[in-house]
Amino acid sequence: MSTFSGTMWLWLAVTAALGGIVLCKFKKSPGQVGRKVVCLVGLWGGAYLLSPSLSWGLIFFVLFCFLLCTYLPGQEFLPVDQKAVLITGGDSGFGHALSKYLDKLGFTVFVGVLNEKGPGAEELRRTCSKRVSVLQMDITDPQQIKDAHSKVVEKVQNRGLWAVVNNAGIIGLPADGELIPMTNYKQCMAVNFFGAVEVTKAFLPLLRKSKGRLVNISSMAGGVPMEKMAAYSASKAALTMFSAIMRQELSKWGVKVSVIQPGGFKTNIAGTSEMWNKLERDILDNLTPDVQEDYGQDYILKHRDYLKFISMCRNTDMSPVLLDIRHAVSAKRPFAFYSPGPMAYPMLCFVSFSPTSIFDYFNKKLCSFSGGMPKALTKQA
């Protein structure tokens, strides 16, 4: 009995010491790592409850602490050390905020913008340090990508480029997949997928030289099928798969690839009222008479209300996205996937693991506000 007690006291001392080490390491780790740690704590708690005795519970805890001691150091940030980062889509939204954020952290930042004389570009020049260079870079224009590449090479010289953040994207006007004009499908693919691929191919030699990071901003919609998002979601799904394949292929070069799949955040990706007017005209002008009759003009025009609704529901605090991108750029061992936003990770898990019929049922309930029923179906009812 006394031997057993002595053994138990030894186990308790070891677990206390390991727990203290883990706590110290956890405090030094970036905040977004907490979600992963909480999952590991949950797994340990479950193993402890299922264990047949206290001694087994302590053994599980020691193993848990050992894994965390191995895991947490890899989540610490590397020094900035004059690292250079290229960000596309810096006129507004995530790209604009990220440019300012990384500048404050001391990075050399190249910001590709659609309009180098626009208000977003001017604000970056006015508010950021001299480490920020604003570049004219329409990612659907191969010549502008080449020109931007030349300017980056000229400035970084032998240091190489540490990271590329493919952020530029468009969403268009949400509508039923049958109603979206082919021009809109092609435009979404041109910006959200082909543009990101072309930027990646242009700058990869610099990333391979630095053994740096490729970070692609996808979307929760790239993994969760959402009504009225066929063009946008398809392009983001393509970007997510491209990122996963590039992660495997570039690992032998020492380049780490991450994809960010944010939930709903308030950015300017939805565009302006003038853009919505043009998209509505494009939809109506490209529909055949029978399709327009079946859906009805009232149903089609209500899609603008749906866009306004989802815009109002979006989070105005971009900090979760910025923190995750920083982690992808700076952590010793970045994650392959990030899902900032309160609903992003649960929804991605839900669609991955739930039966299709259950997901479709709940998704239909969630989208019940999305503009009513087409004209022909209303008549049948």
Q: 3-state class of 265 per DSSP? A: strand
pLDDT of residue 172: 77
Instruction: Report the C-alpha gap between 253 and 250 in whole angstroms.
Output: 5
Q: 3-state class of 249 per DSSP? A: helix
Query: For 132-186, how does the pLDDT look when each residue is reduced to its tens digit (9 = 90+)?
Result: 999 999 999 999 999 999 999 999 988 889 999 999 999 877 889 999 999 999 9
> What letters, b where the CB count within 10 A reaches 16 and e where it falls short, cover 320-341?
bbbbbbbbbbbbeebbebbbbb
What DSSP line would sit under 21-56, residue for residue? HHHHHHHHS-GGGHHHHHHHHHHHHHHHHH-SSHHH
pLDDT of residue 347: 87
Query: For 35-94, how does the pLDDT look when each residue is reduced to its tens digit (9 = 90+)?
Result: 555 555 555 555 555 555 555 555 655 665 655 555 555 578 999 988 999 999 999 999
Q: pLDDT: is 194 or 82 the higher one?
A: 194
User: Which residues are the active-site residues?
Assistant: 232
Domain limits, the chain: 18-23+31-75, 84-366
> What letters, b where the CB count within 10 A reaches 16 and e where it falls short, cover 236-262?
bbbbbebbeebbeebeeeebbbbbbbb
Average of per-residue pLDDT across 315-341: 92
Q: Which CATH number fits domain 84-366: 3.40.630.150, 3.30.1330.20, 1.10.150.120, 3.40.50.720?
A: 3.40.50.720
Task: Compute how many other C-beta atoms are within 10 angstroms of the C-beta atom of residue 150.
Answer: 10
Q: What are phi and psi of 179, to 5 degrees?
A: -90, -25
Instruction: Report the C-alpha gap between 319 and 304 in whole angstroms.
Output: 28
Q: What are phi and psi of 63, to 5 degrees?
A: -60, -40
What DSSP line would sit under 164-205, residue for residue? EEE--------B-TTTS-HHHHHHHIIIIIIIHHHHHHHHHH
Query: For 230-284, how does the pLDDT look when each residue is reduced to its tens digit (9 = 90+)?
Result: 999 999 999 999 999 999 999 999 999 999 999 877 676 656 667 777 777 888 8
Q: Residue 312 is encoded by which pair of tokens? A: 């109002």
Q: pLDDT: is 357 or 51 the higher one?
A: 357
pLDDT of residue 301: 78
Instruction: Report the C-alpha gap between 263 and 340 in whole angstroms.
Output: 6
pLDDT of residue 51: 55
For residue 56, the one-letter residue type is W
Query: For 274-319, how does the pLDDT look when each residue is reduced to its tens digit (9 = 90+)?
Result: 777 777 788 888 889 999 899 888 887 777 666 666 666 667 788 9
